[in-house]
Amino acid sequence: MSVLAPPEPALTPVYSYPDALPHVPTHYCPGCTHGIAHRLIAEVIDEMAAKERTIGVASVGCSVFAYRYFGVDFAQAAHGRAPAMATGVKRVRPEALVFTYQGDGDLASIGAAEILHAAVRGEQITVFFVNNAIYGMTGGQMAPTTLLGQTTTSSPAGRDRATMGTVLRMSELLAQVDGAAYVVRRSLHDVVQIKRAKKAIRRAFEVQEQGLGFTMVELLSSCPTNWGMTPEAALGYIRDEMVPAFPLGDFKVPETRAEAGA
């Protein structure tokens, strides 16, 4: 029987909770990538020393309780309305860093009008669009982002193009809008992609602070519970099935580095 050695004195922590993400246990399922997305956003808020001027707007879906996890002022919007509510906040608090955090049912379905027109007006807000191709909170129904043929509880025989249409690619759509300044898609399925996602989050916040227009970072995410997969298999599903349907990339960036103040 081995005996653990006593801890080394004066150990320096090299990895801890960001200030903007207090140590609160989350309600997310094992293997869900919401935790990664939350952490990346909180790290960037810390790095920008923006905690005291950040206001978040939570949506309806699995991230309905996002306000519990971030150590910043928060509002909890009606389903799909976060971009409208964030518009109200940002217009009267232009000095604040304002972001929404929305899933694909919230943003691409019931909130399609609100997200589109926030972009049209060039609202100086940042949208984090967590796309896992399914309704998580209500137990796995089809979303506008559900892949063709993907089975869900409301497309039990698989999504059928003839009666259910096919995937709605919001980043590509919003990139067409003049008011959008920065629209990119990243993924959270491996470490390299996660690091790229964090850079995009930072860039989106910077573009907001430079007042260049609407910014959105779409994050391809997993839902092991409703996909009926192990967490590891779910990450593989993002890589092998979602990325081909939702190509990663920059769909809209400020025209010049100088313009972005980079």
Partner 1 sequence: MARELLKGNVAFAEAAIRAGCEAYFGYPITPQTEALEHMAVRMPELGRTFVQAESEVAAINMVYGAAAAGVRTMTSSSSPGVSLMMEGLSYMAGSEVPAVVVDVMRGGPGLGNIAPAQSDYTQMVKGGGHGDYRQIVLAPASVQELIDHTVLAFDLADRYRIVSVVLADGSLGQMMEGAELPAMRPPRAADASPAWALSGAKERDTNLISSIHLDPDEEERFNHHLQAKYAAIEAAEIRHEEHLLDDASIAVVAFGTAARLVKTAIAGERAAGVAVGLFRPITLWPFPTDALRDLSERVEAILVVEMNMGQMLEDVQRVVAERCPVGFFGRTGGVMPMPEEIAARIRALATQLGAAVSDAPEEVRT
Written as one string, the DSSP assignment of 112-126 is HHHHHHHHHTT-S-E
* Site for partner 1 contains 137 (CB under 8 A): no
CB of 90 to partner 1, least distance (A): 8
Query: Which residues 6+ apart lie within 8 Å of 14 measured at CB?
Result: none
Query: Which residues 6+ apart lie within 8 Å of 240 measured at CB?
Result: none
Cα 204 to Cα 128: distance, rounded to the nearest angstrom: 10
CB of 202 to partner 1, least distance (A): 19
Cα 38 to Cα 24: distance, rounded to the nearest angstrom: 12
> Which range in 75-83, 135-143, 198-206, 244-252 contacts partner 1 by CB under 8 A?
75-83
CB of 24 to partner 1, least distance (A): 12
Place of tokens 């207090």: 22
Nearer to partner 1, 75 or 168 (CB): 75
Between 22 and 61, how does the x/- string for binding to partner 1 read (CB under 8 A)?
Answer: -----------------------------xxxxx-xx---
Do β-strands 126-131 and 214-220 pair in parallel, antiparallel, or remain unpaired? parallel
Question: Considering only residues 77, 130, 180, 216, which one is a binding residue for partner 1 as defined by CB under 8 A?
Answer: 77
Question: Considering only residues 48, 74, 122, 243, which one is a binding residue for partner 1 as defined by CB under 8 A?
Answer: 74
CB of 125 to partner 1, least distance (A): 10
* Among 173, 178, 118, 110, residue whose Cα is nearest residue 144: 110
Residues that bind partner 1 (CB under 8 A): 51-55, 57-58, 64, 67, 71-78, 81, 84-93, 95-96, 113-114, 116-117, 120-121
